[in-house]
Amino acid sequence: MKTTIDKAGRVVVPKALRDILGLSAGEALEIREADGRIEIEPVSTKIRLEDRPEGLVGVAEEELPPLSDDIVRATLERSRR
């Protein structure tokens, strides 16, 4: 896919690619240079482990939206590719 850099230095990620990667408006991205390329990836959510009576539980260090059936289904589909 091709895109351009506008006068303000912004790059548009094409909708088809955003859909494939599950990216949405306002999502934090990490951008870096590597071997003359630009690499962009979603910022990972920081997780800490808590020891609870039912066992170790991963807890996000920031508020996350509720996990819906659609999000789970889309994530499974992306991981199967």
Q: How far apart are CA 64 and CA 12, in angstroms?
A: 25
Residues 20-57 have pLDDT tens digits of: 888 888 888 999 999 999 999 988 889 999 999 999 99
Number of H helices, E strands in the chain: 2, 4
Where does residue 21 rank: exposed (0-12), middle (13-18), buried (19+ CB within 10 A)? middle
Residue percentage of the chain with pLDDT more than 70: 100
Q: Coil, helix or strand for 41?
A: strand
Contact 11/5 with Cβ under 8 angstroms?
A: yes
